Amino acid sequence: MTTVLRRYGTLIGFAAIIIFFSVSLPDTFLTGRNWLNISQQVSMLTVVAASMTIVMVMGDFDLSVGSMASLAGIVAAILFTMGFSVPSAVAIALLVGLAGGAINGILVSLIGILPFIATLATLTVFSGVAFLISGGKTIFGRDIPASFSGFARDGIPLGTIGEQSLSLPYLTIVALVVVVLVWALLEQTTFGRRLYAIGGNAEAARLSGVRVKRLRLAAFALTGFGAAAAGLMYASRVASANPTQGSGLMLNAIAAVFLGMTMSEEGEPRVHATLVGVLVLGVLDNGLTQMSVDSYVRDILVGVIIIAAVASSSLWKRFR
Amino acid sequence: MSLLALEGVSKAYAGVPALRSVSLDIAPGEIHALMGENGAGKSTLIKILAGVVAPDEAAISVEGRAVTIDAPNAAFAHGLRFIHQELNVVPTLSVAENIFLGRPYPRRLGGLIDWRQLAEQARQALARLGISHIDPRHKMGRLGTGDRMLVSISTAFLDTEGAAAKIYVMDEPTAALTGDESERLFAVLREIRRAGGSVIYVSHRLDEVMQLCDRVTVLRDGAVIVTKPIAETPQDEIIRMMIGRAVDHAYPEPMAAAGDEAALVVDELAGDGLDPVSFAVKKGEIVGLAGLAGAGQSEVLRLLMGADTVRGGRVRIGGIEGRATDPAAAWRSGLAYVPRERRSEGLVLSRPITENITLAHLGRFSRGGAVLARRRERAIATARAAEVRLKARGLGQRCYELSGGNQQKVVFAKALSVEPQVLLLDEPTRGVDVGAKFDIYSLIREWSARGMAVLIASSDFPELLGMCDRIIVMREGGIATSLSAHGLSEEVLLTHCYGHHQAIVSEGQPALSAGGPAS
């Protein structure tokens, strides 16, 4: 019974949140339209949190994902102004993410700086570069090609209910694809298995022939790549890019991974659990906005929920 | 009247009984041995006494008065003192601060810490063990393993106000000590006995127990098999009671003679703190690396594995040039490694048994080296687990739940997951119970008979003499000599380890065991 509570406490809490909003917002909350809306709202966070899960499996962090997301959006937007096509600008922005992640990886694994410090430093560097190349201004309007910003507004039509037509947003599809890819990477490949071994005991993994440095570097590079992808999704959604628009993603992504970790047997990050964490945050956001609750109150609630979930999980562990 | 009496102590973990109605009484002025295989329940019993684990049922009395021990400070208040097997030290604090961990520091006027008094009391605690070479003001991290253990032990002898110490509980206190250090500890224990105090003594070293203890209680599968005076209990009877069957020979006989072909040739291999070493191991040969603690045995194995930086020299494995730049390369070139510290170096404790077994050659048990092939993994893990006679609920069980002996068997299963050409073993049976030890020795024999070369670094000299064809003696970071193990005695081997000039052979106690200023 207690183990059930411990492992499923977060899920039970999630269900309680849904029931609460369903009762409070009987007409709007439990509708297909709202849930499609939520799925789109959380799609960027989903991509960042799934990418963050990759490094957190090794017990590491990446604090720079938010500023990398901003930087990637800015890079793409600037390339648009220079006349680059959408595919090439997107590809270059993603490569910037991969390179930035690789820099994190080099600092952490080859030079041996603690991830907290290394990525805190690159957080400010990436953010500074984004401000520098954009001149601190928001790039929007005609500079952003319609095919780029249109992507976030379109989706696969699902049919009509009443007078409204529903569609599955492309952003949601991208997020789901990323989750599935990260899941396959972490759960179904030797790469993922070795990352979990590093997270459990890095020295034992090394002595067992796991190339710890190389894998850590690769994992950070992938996280940077994911952060850049999320930044592009964000830029597409708001049809503009500014050097601070990704800054909220990092803390929420870490929060989502932590919420997910409370659901796994050994407190290890799992990407499907991270997805639940993302949904908890996204649903809360959506419901509270609809109830016209102040966003500052929402911040307080998110903090309390994280503490409650992690505290109950570690308390159960102590008394088992 | 007994000084300490336990009655009907029971404890189950998740429905699996660890202790079944155990009763134990300790008389004043006795050293009482507690023996049993790993997983027999000794640790659980000690943790209950220490107030770390809550028993399901227990009646405990001290000097005839019923007591409840529900927290470590309750145990302390009833006069119990503990020396745990695992070293629990804070390397960044001084020796004196470590000794006083969890105790009130001496104060000066105004509540400030009286550092001089602190150092003085720590020095006195050390002096009770006859230790004068450790400065209480030095950082703990500067001390070697043996000295750290001595400091941990001295903690139990700290004079503190309030509760007087009556009963000392010691879990493998000599595991990291040299012969001399052990002897000094024994002298202190005998003094405690003379003064009417008692000691509960846990050790895998039978000779120590025979020499030191008055009575022995044997635990098996969580139940007391017998409590008897040592004088009436021969050594082989204790072993039989511990494992529930007779072990005819402590070491299995060789099954085949070594081949002629060299499996491993090491030429002038050098690393930090190690003179260049050269030697060869033939197919099917078992070679030992002996020496005092820190003489370089572990370092040779670590260099071969590429775990430490290699500074020069050549290595050939099965005739192919293959000096390892990192452990990954070493495993691929046909080496397999059982590291010295199984919990911190050998296993990923939080992961399942299967994942640990397949970790070293994961690429081979996958599709194209990238995608996991779980069925293939399970097949090899099942086969190897059976071969090492692993006892576990299932192969999905997390390794931290296993006893020490079974954990070591998982490390062996990993080393043998793909048949290696050369098996490198560092302290392969340390902290492993008698039954599991015999299983491991049999395994080494079986695999060596198939033509695998084995290199064992061990501080357990009887083990080296019982298993090896040849023993390489290391002294101060270099190879001193190489001896045929045939007809070699422990005394002669030890003499070689010390060097001819200062041959010291301690009586009875295998000084052979680890210790001294370790790395």
ipTM of the complex: 0.90
A110 touches chain B (CB under 8 A): no
> Residue A270's domain is classified under what CATH number?
1.10.3470.10
Question: Phi/psi class of residue B79: alpha, beta or left (left: φ > 0; alpha: ψ in -120 to 50)?
Answer: left
Give contacts of B351 with chain A, Cβ < 8 Å. 196-197, 200
Domain range for A173: 2-319
Instruction: Answer for the pair B425, B289: CB distance below 8 angstroms, yes or no.
Output: no
What b/e string do you get for A57-84 counting C-beta neighbours within 10 Å, with b at 16 or more? bbebbbbbbbbbbbbbbbbbbbbbeeeb
b (16+ CB within 10 A) / e for A172-202: bebbbebbeebbebbebbbbbbbbbbbbbbb
Beta carbons within 8 Å of B270's beta carbon, 6+ residues apart? B276, B277, B303, B310, B311, B312, B313
A227 burial (CB, 10 Å; 0-12 / 13-18 / 19+) is: buried
Q: Select from A6, A208, A213 the residue whose CB has the most chain B CBs within 10 Å, as the one to mutate to test that interface.
A: A208
What pLDDT shows up at residue B15? Answer: 67
C-alpha–C-alpha distance, residues B203 and B344, integer Å: 22
CB-nearest to A211 from B328, B366, B372 is B328
- Which residues are CB-neighbours of B442 under 8 A, at least 6 positions away? B252
The CA distance from B498 to B482, in Å, is 14
- Residue B345's closest CA among B360, B332, B334? B360
Which tokens in the block code for residue B227?
């409590």
Q: How confident is the model at residue A90 (pLDDT cuts 50, 70, 90)?
A: very high
Secondary structure class of B366 (helix, strand, coil): strand
Average pLDDT, chain A: 92
Structural domains of chain A, count = 1
Cβ of B139 under 8 Å from any chain A Cβ?
no
Lowest-confidence region among A75-89, A284-298, B128-142, B150-164: B150-164
Tell whether A48 is within 8 A of chain B (Cβ).
no
Cβ neighbours of B355 in A, within 8 Å:
193, 196-197
Task: Tell me which residue of A215, A79, A177, A255 sits closest to B363, measured CA to CA.
Answer: A215
Chain B interface includes A59 (CB < 8 A): no
Query: Which is it for strands B470-475 and B366-367: parallel, antiparallel or unpaired?
Result: unpaired
Tens of pLDDT, residue by residue, chain B (519 residues): 789 999 999 998 766 778 999 999 999 999 999 988 766 888 889 989 999 889 999 999 999 899 999 888 888 889 898 887 666 788 899 999 988 887 888 888 888 999 998 999 899 888 887 888 889 999 988 887 778 888 888 888 776 666 678 899 998 888 777 777 788 889 888 988 988 889 999 887 778 888 899 999 999 888 999 999 999 988 878 877 877 765 555 788 888 788 889 999 999 999 988 899 999 999 999 999 998 777 889 999 999 999 999 999 999 998 898 888 899 999 999 999 999 989 899 999 999 999 999 999 999 999 998 999 999 999 999 999 999 999 888 999 999 888 888 999 999 999 999 999 999 999 998 878 777 888 899 999 999 999 999 999 998 888 899 999 999 999 888 999 999 998 888 778 877 887 754 434 333 334 344 333 333
Q: Give contacts of A266 with chain B, Cβ < 8 Å.
A: 350, 398
Query: pLDDT grade, residue A317 (50/70/90)?
Result: low
Collect all residues of chain A within an 8 Å Cβ-Cβ radius of residue B328: 209-211
Determine the distance in angstroms separating the CA of B231 from the nearest CA of chain A, rounded to an integer. Answer: 43
Q: Tokens in use for A211?
A: 């190339």
Chain B residues closer than 8 Å to A191 by CB: 370
B 218-237 residues with CB < 8 A to A: none
Strand partners, B454: B286, B423
**Is B366 near chain A, with CB under 8 Å?**
yes
| Closest Cβ–Cβ partner in A189, A208, A266 for B359 | A208
For residue A250, pLDDT beyond 80: yes
Report the amino acid identity of residue B231. Answer: A
Instruction: Say yes or no: A317 contacts chain B, CB-CB below 8 A.
Output: no
Partner A contacted by B331 (CB < 8 A): yes
- Three-state DSSP class for residue B184: helix
pTM comes to 0.79
In three-state form (DSSP H/G/I as H, E/B as E, the rest C), the secondary structure along chain A is: CHHHHHHHHHHHHHHHHHHHHHHHCCCCCCCHHHHHHHHHHCHHHHHHHHHHHHHHCCCCCCCCHHHHHHHHHHHHHHHHHCCCCHHHHHHHHHHHHHHHHHHHHHHHHHCCCCHHHHHHHHHHHHHHHHHHHHCCCCEEHHHCCHHHHHHHHCEEEEEEECCEEEEEEHHHHHHHHHHHHHHHHHHHEHHHHHHHHHHHCHHHHHHCCCCHHHHHHHHHHHHHHHHHHHHHHHHHHHCEECCCCCCCHHHHHHHHHHHHHCCCCCCCCCHHHHHHHHHHHHHHHHHHHHCCCCHHHHHHHHHHHHHHHHHHHHHHHHHC
Tens of pLDDT along A1-21?
555 666 777 888 899 999 999
Q: Are B366 and B417 in contact (CB under 8 A)?
A: no
Rounded-to-integer distance, Cα B87 and Cα B173, Å: 10
Give the confidence band of A235 by pLDDT, cuts at 50, 70, 90: very high
What confidence tens digit (pLDDT) does each residue in A175-228 have? 999 999 999 999 999 999 999 999 999 999 999 999 999 999 999 999 999 999
Adjacency order of strands within the sheet including B223-229: B80-83, B167-171, B198-202, B31-35, B215-220, B223-229
**Chain B interface includes A188 (CB < 8 A):** yes
Per-residue model confidence (pLDDT) at position B109: 83
8 Å CB contact of A207 and B327 = yes
B326, B348, B370: residue with CB nearest A190: B370
- Residue B445 is given by DSSP the state H
Nearest CA in chain A to B301: A207
Cα distance from A269 to chain B (closest Cα, Å)?
A: 13
What domains lie within chain B, and their CATH numbers?
4-243 (3.40.50.300), 349-419 (no CATH)
- In contact, A168 and A155? CB cutoff 8 Å: yes
Chain B contact set for A197 (CB, 8 A): 348, 351, 355, 359
Tell which phi-psi region holds residue B255, choosing left (phi > 0), alpha (psi between -120 and 50) or beta: alpha
Q: Is B414 on the interface with A (CB under 8 A)?
A: yes
End-to-end CA distance of chain B: 47
**How close A210 comes to chain B (CA, Å)?**
6
CA distance B356 to chain A (A): 8
**A214 in reach of chain B (CB within 8 A):** no
Which residues from A are below 8 Å from B347, CB to CB? Answer: 201, 204
Check whether A268 has a pLDDT greater than 70.
yes
